[in-house]
């Protein structure tokens, strides 16, 4: 009987949305009695060395012949054609976000990733994406047939309603996501600098390690704007500390340029936080309009206007918070997400999952 071998590059405990998604799949499968195990791949993906590609091939070859190889897209998209072809009959790709569409890549790197990802996805027997938007991108730009793709949006845990900062005259804003170009923190900084005459504070939670130059630019921009006393950058934080920061927030903001989904939006919704977000992924598009103000990516003026509107209007913040809390009960849970992914992996095994 087939088992799922979930091959993931790098540190599975890293505090990012993608790794968080992967961890929850493994956890939920354990609870459901679905046979699955984690296979750690080298951390150099998506730009692997020749040695790491060879090591990856050896690790995959050591699995049982009837195991399903679910490979995180951070690695699968960088497979060589020969590597993907060798395991094609049991390869399922999990694509959080197409590698070639990552913001900040040079043209040569983006082109190389587009070629490798297109070829790997062509060989894979199945593909799982975390949003309808990513599915559409794979169909339109990576030649993946619609019938080959399953969509498993991130689940959301129930959570207590956020209490807020207790400072109604100076609302505290929260943003969550690694300090990388795609998260759009430069746009957020410009927007907040434009409304520096209003009372607000901000915490941006996210690791600086994935794009150190971007993180350094952000810190420098904050200092030059004279906002160092109002914007905190605590880095990546643990689960308990993140829960505290959500609880102490009055307004959630996501300024991303592009997201496959945007898990942090549903995390904020689950806590009853009003939201200002860019229309950068399926999560933003699915948010109830009553709970969120939505603006185009990269539009500093529109983002500043939306933030100023809710900073200036405590009553509207409360109304949107109530709408968010009302919508929280309808969010998909992780058990359903894990069931969908397992079904996509095991559908040729003759087993009914869930």
Two structure tokens written together for 134: 């990513």
Q: Which CATH superfamily is domain 172-328 in?
A: Glycogen Phosphorylase B; (3.40.50.2000)
4-155+333-349 and 172-328 agree in CATH topology: yes
Would you write out the chain's pLDDT as a tens digit for each of its 354 residues? Answer: 689 999 999 999 988 889 999 999 999 999 999 999 999 999 999 999 999 999 999 999 999 999 999 999 999 999 999 999 999 999 999 999 899 988 788 999 999 999 999 999 999 999 999 999 899 999 999 999 999 999 999 999 999 999 999 987 999 999 999 999 999 999 999 999 999 999 999 999 999 999 999 999 999 999 999 999 999 999 999 999 999 999 999 999 999 998 888 899 999 999 999 999 999 877 787 789 999 999 999 999 999 999 999 999 999 999 999 999 999 999 999 999 999 999 999 986 555 555
pTM (two decimals): 0.85
CB atoms within 10 A of CB 299: 16
Closest CA to 202 of 238, 239, 228: 228
Pair 311, 250: CB distance under 8 Å: no
pLDDT of 260? 80
Burial class (CB in 10 A: 0-12, 13-18, 19+), 77: buried
Task: Give Rg (Cα) of the chain.
Answer: 21
CA distance 96 to 274: 25
What span, in angstroms and rounded, lies between the C-alpha atoms of 26 and 31? Answer: 9
- Which candidate, 242, 183, 262, 265, places its Cα nearest to that of 217? 183
Q: What are the residue boundaries of the structural domains of the chain, listed by start?
A: 4-155+333-349, 172-328
Which CATH architecture is the domain 4-155+333-349 placed in? 3-Layer(aba) Sandwich (3.40)
- Check if the beta carbon of residue 173 is closer than 8 Å to that of residue 249: yes
Q: How long, in residues, is the chain?
A: 354
Strand partners, 293: 276
Q: Peptide bond before 46: cis, by omega within 30 degrees of 0?
A: yes
The three-state DSSP-derived secondary structure of the chain is CCCEEEEEECCCCCCCHHHHHHHHHHHHHHHHCCCEEEEEECCCCCCCCHHHHHHHHHHHHCCCCCCEEEEEHHHHCCCCHHHHHHCHHHEEEEECCCHHHCCCCCHHHHHHHHHHHHHHHHHCCEEEECCHHHHHHHHHHCCCCHHHEEECCCCCCCCCCCCCCCCCCCCEEEEECCCCHHHCHHHHHHHHHHCCCCCCEEEEECCCCCCHHHHHHHHHHHHHCCCCCCEEEEECCCHHHHHHHHHCCCEEEECCCCCCCCHHHHHHHHCCCCEEEECCCHHHHHCCCCCEEEECCCCHHHHHHHHHHHHHCHHHHHHHHHHHHHHHCCCCCHHHHHHHHHHHHHHHHCCCCC
Farthest-apart Cα atoms in the chain, separation = 64
């Amino acid at each position: 009987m087939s088992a799922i071998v979930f091959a993931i590059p790098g540190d599975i405990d890293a505090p990012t949305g993608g790794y968080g998604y992967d961890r929850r799949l493994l956890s939920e499968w354990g609870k459901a009695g679905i046979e699955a195990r984690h296979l750690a791949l080298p951390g150099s993906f998506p730009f692997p060395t020749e040695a790491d590609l060879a090591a990856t091939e050896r690790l995959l070859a050591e699995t049982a012949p009837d195991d399903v190889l679910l490979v995180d897209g951070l690695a699968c998209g960088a497979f060589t054609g020969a590597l993907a072809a060798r395991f094609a009959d049991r390869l399922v790709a999990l694509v959080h976000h197409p590698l070639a569409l990552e913001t900040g890549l040079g043209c040569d790197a983006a082109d190389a990733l587009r070629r490798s990802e297109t070829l790997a996805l062509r060989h894979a027997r199945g593909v799982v994406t975390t949003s309808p938007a990513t599915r559409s991108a794979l169909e339109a730009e990576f030649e993946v047939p619609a019938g080959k793709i399953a969509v498993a949006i991130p689940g959301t845990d129930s959570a207590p309603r956020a209490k807020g900062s207790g400072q109604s005259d100076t609302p505290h804003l929260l943003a969550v996501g690694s300090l990388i170009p795609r998260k759009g923190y430069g746009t957020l900084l410009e927007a907040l600098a434009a409304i520096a005459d209003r009372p607000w504070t901000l915490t941006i939670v996210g690791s600086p390690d994935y794009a150190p130059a971007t993180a350094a630019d952000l810190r420098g921009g904050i200092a030059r704007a004279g906002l160092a006393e109002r914007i905190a950058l605590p880095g990546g934080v643990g689960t308990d500390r993140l829960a505290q920061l959500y609880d102490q927030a009055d307004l959630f903001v996501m300024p991303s340029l592009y997201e496959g989904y945007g898990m942090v939006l549903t995390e904020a919704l689950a806590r009853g936080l009003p939201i200002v977000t860019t229309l950068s992924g399926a999560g933003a598009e699915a948010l109830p309009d009553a709970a969120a103000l939505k603006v185009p990516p990269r539009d500093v003026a529109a983002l500043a206007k939306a933030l100023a509107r809710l900073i200036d209007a405590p009553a509207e913040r409360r109304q949107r918070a109530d709408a968010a809390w009302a919508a929280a009960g309808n969010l998909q849970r992780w058990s359903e997400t894990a069931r969908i992914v397992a079904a996509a992996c095991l559908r040729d095994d003759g087993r009914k999952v869930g």
